[in-house]
Structure 1
Amino acid sequence: MNIDKRHLLNLSILIPYLMLSVIGLIMVYSTTSANLIREGSNPFYQVINQSLFWIVSLAAIFVIYRMKLSFLRQAKVIQVVLIVEVALLVISRFFEPVNGAHGWIRFGFIGLQPAEYLKLIIVWYLAHKFARMQPEIRTYDYRALTKGRWIPNHLNDWRLVSLLFIALVGTLPDLGNATILALTVVIMISVSGIGYRWFSTILLAIVAGSTALLGSIWALGVEVVEKIPVFGYIARRFSAFFNPFENETGAGLQLANSYYAMSNGGWLGRGLGNSIEKNGYLPEAHTDFAFSIVIEELGLVGASLILALLFFLILRIIIVGIRARNPFNAMMALGIGGMLLIQTFVNVGGISGLIPATGVTFPFLSQGGNSLLIISIGIAFVLNIDANEKRVLLVEEIERTMT
């Protein structure tokens, strides 16, 4: 039956997305305009750039929402996307590093960040793989994912593909996105249909491994880790995590000033545009530490309302996944919701000192067109999935009524 998708649009996801996007544009202007004015540049430059990405994002949402999900499930389409992503990650190694990581491909004022796109691609790929394995998973549980082998022995093994991408991103080196990728893979494994006890085991292993890593770095000393090739800048971030005020003008500069920003904000904030720390004191105030400026300007109350709106959006996405009857649809929605939740946790944890800073942007509020675009594409996937699930239920209800 021909049911127009326009009538099946999930406004409880679209409206929070639009609200957060607009708030994000406002905060991008607030966090970037002061530095641009000091440089003698157009104060609207970054917000215009972000707005252009948002326009492209809205167009992408419209196109993807109208697409048939059967096209997105085709193995050849996913294979082409994976090959292109590998090529982009390799090419990015030949461009100048940004903040110590070779994660950007730049053509004039346009920049692509392949690692950002990979976060959604890995969800898409694993949802496709695990959906095709559902009969085996129902019968053999986790053994269906490993095929009885703990070590992958062919190139099409999802574990080998996942490890390859995480390794490529980690050697850029981009610790933040590599961490998000690894945790996203864990989420996809957890929602694949295996027994819940495996999720508990994996979670315990992650906590134990993270504790052991931090303990080892603390015991050996950051100076030892800093001598390891490529990972020197990561060691400096661990140094800031252990004691940001010990080297407040060096490794601890960002985290210490992030604390100052949050302290300045208090309950109600200094007012929109009135941040002190963004005026040259807090590096990356418009990207990694944008939420610190949000707290300084809007206070704990304003920042909490934005977090609540973001968590509401994530919850609605997860609910779509829980309600979906098609395995691919369910895992795509749950993976996208989990990816957003992880990115939020990693960013807020980094700016507050709960975990080492990883250079991960805050969804919507940080300046970064690539991040906004990939979030928008993820939202488009979920809207399409929700509409298709509703259509199937509606058709079944109509058929029952007619019979």
Structure 2
Amino acid sequence: MKIAKRHFLNYSILIPYLMLSIIGLIIVYSTTSALQIQSGGNPFRSVMNQALFWLISLIGIFLIYRMRLSFLRKSSVVNIVILIEIGLLILSRFFTQVNGAHGWIRFGGISLQPAEYLKLIIIWFLAQKFDMIQSDIGTYDYQALTKGRWMPNRLNDWRIISMVFLILVATLPDLGNATIVALIIVIMLSVSGIGYRWFSTALIAIVSASTLLLGSIWLIGVDVVAKIPIFGYIAKRFSAFFNPFKDATDAGLQLANSYYAMSNGGWLGLGLGNSIEKKGYLPEAHTDFAFSIVIEELGLVGASLILAILFFLILRIIVVGIRARDPFNSMMSLGIAGMLLVQAFVNIGGISGLIPATGVTFPFLSQGGSSLLIISVGIAFVLNIDAHERRLLLEKEIEETFH
């Protein structure tokens, strides 16, 4: 007995997604309209572009939800996507820099950021790879992932592909997305079925390496690091992290004004549309520092409510991953939840000075069609997985009842 998939649509995921998307459109208009008016442009230009990507996203959700999961997990499909992504990342290197970094492919009035797509692609790729060796992981633990070798001996080894992606993104240079991709790889390893002690070891290694890196830059001096060609633009971010008010008109401009925005907001905010900092004082107020403007306009209370909706969405996706009986479905869901959580954490850490600013957008709220599109595709995967798992479970129960 086959039951239509539409009967298993998970509204506890779909409704928060729709709420955050609509809130995001409002925030994009709020953070972009003032400067558009000042420059004599159409105040609705940015939000219309974002709305176009959202419309495409909704169509994508509908199509992906109706797809068979067996098609989405085919090696041939995943390999084609991997090759296209590598090509896009290489192509983006030849387009004009934005804030000292490459990474955008522009045509007409639309720009695409391949590094954003990589976040979901690496989850998809690793889930498919690790699913194929689940029995080996259960027997040999982490050695199943390396075939007993520290160094890979095949070009299609997941370590080779992952390293190629990390190098391509890091050399753009795009420190923020490279960091997120690296953390996503760690998350995927941790949910692959290997012993939890390996995840603990990897986490300790990351924290230790980050502390060592920051300490080394502080001891050597940001000015010395800035002389290295590829790290010139990145060095400014470290300079602002150590003391944003030391150079509040240049390197520390963003973080200093982010502090001012959050201070202006207080508990209840200045009111939607009434931000002071977005009117030319805080650069990237519509992308990297959109959440600072949210706090300024809606206050800590309003920002906390938005965070609560986002974390509820992430929690519901985690529940889908935990309940999934199929390893691929479980790893995909947990990876997508991890992607959203890491992106939110890195963004909030950057705007508050807890970690160096990385240029990472905040999920849903920042202007960025590529970011919204890839989040939507991830949500579509989860909705499909949840419907598939629940339908199989119900059909099994019905079959057992009648037999």
Specify the TM-score bucket, using the shorter chain as the normaliser: over 0.9
2:301 aligned partner: 301
Q: 1:67-82 counterparts in 2 under 5 A?
A: 67-82=67-82
2:376 aligned partner: 376
2:205 aligned partner: 205
Distance between the aligned counterparts of 1:162 and 1:3, measured in 2? 39
Q: 1:284-299 counterparts in 2 under 5 A?
A: 284-299=284-299
Residue type of the partner of 1:133? I
Partner-residue secondary structure (3-state), 1:106: strand
Q: Does 1:120 align with 2:120?
A: yes
- Is the contact between residue 245 and residue 252 of structure 2 (CA under 8 Å) also seen in structure 1? yes
1:108 aligned partner: 108
Superposed displacement of residue 100, structure 1: 1.1
Superposed displacement of residue 169, structure 1: 0.3
Residue type of the partner of 1:27? I
Superposed displacement of residue 182, structure 1: 0.2
2:44 aligned partner: 44
Superposed displacement of residue 112, structure 1: 1.0
Superposed displacement of residue 151, structure 1: 1.2
Q: Does 1:254 align with 2:254?
A: yes
Partner-residue secondary structure (3-state), 1:111: strand
- % same residue: 76
Distance between the aligned counterparts of 1:281 and 1:153, measured in 2? 52
Q: 1:2-401 counterparts in 2 under 5 A?
A: 2-401=2-401
- Is the contact between residue 24 and residue 366 of structure 2 (CA under 8 Å) also seen in structure 1? yes
Distance between the aligned counterparts of 1:105 and 1:143, measured in 2? 39
Deviations 1:321-370 (A, max 9, x none): 00000000000000000010000000000000000000000000000111
- Is the contact between residue 2 and residue 395 of structure 2 (CA under 8 Å) also seen in structure 1? no
- Is the contact between residue 93 and residue 172 of structure 2 (CA under 8 Å) also seen in structure 1? yes
Distance between the aligned counterparts of 1:37 and 1:174, measured in 2? 30
Distance between the aligned counterparts of 2:153 and 2:171, measured in 1? 23
Distance between the aligned counterparts of 2:328 and 2:295, measured in 1? 38
Superposed displacement of residue 231, structure 1: 1.4
Partner-residue secondary structure (3-state), 1:231: helix
Distance between the aligned counterparts of 1:321 and 1:98, measured in 2? 37
Instruction: Please give the root-mean-square deviation of Cα atoms over the aligned residues, in Å.
Output: 0.5
TM-score (norm 2): 1.00
Superposed displacement of residue 2, structure 1: 2.0
Partner-residue secondary structure (3-state), 2:310: helix
Residue type of the partner of 1:250? D
Aligned residue-pair number:
403
Distance between the aligned counterparts of 1:109 and 1:80, measured in 2? 27
Distance between the aligned counterparts of 1:239 and 1:258, measured in 2? 15
Residue type of the partner of 1:7? H
Distance between the aligned counterparts of 1:220 and 1:152, measured in 2? 34
Distance between the aligned counterparts of 1:101 and 1:61, measured in 2? 31
Partner-residue secondary structure (3-state), 2:240: helix
Partner-residue secondary structure (3-state), 1:275: coil
Residue type of the partner of 1:178? A
Distance between the aligned counterparts of 1:325 and 1:351, measured in 2? 39
Deviations 1:170-213 (A, max 9, x none): 00000000000000000000000000111110000001000000
Superposed displacement of residue 379, structure 1: 0.1
Superposed displacement of residue 110, structure 1: 1.3
Unaligned runs of 5+ in 2: none
Deviations 1:202-258 (A, max 9, x none): 000001000000000000000111011111110010000000000000100000000
Distance between the aligned counterparts of 2:351 and 2:92, measured in 1? 27
Moved over 4 A (4+): none
Distance between the aligned counterparts of 1:101 and 1:327, measured in 2? 37
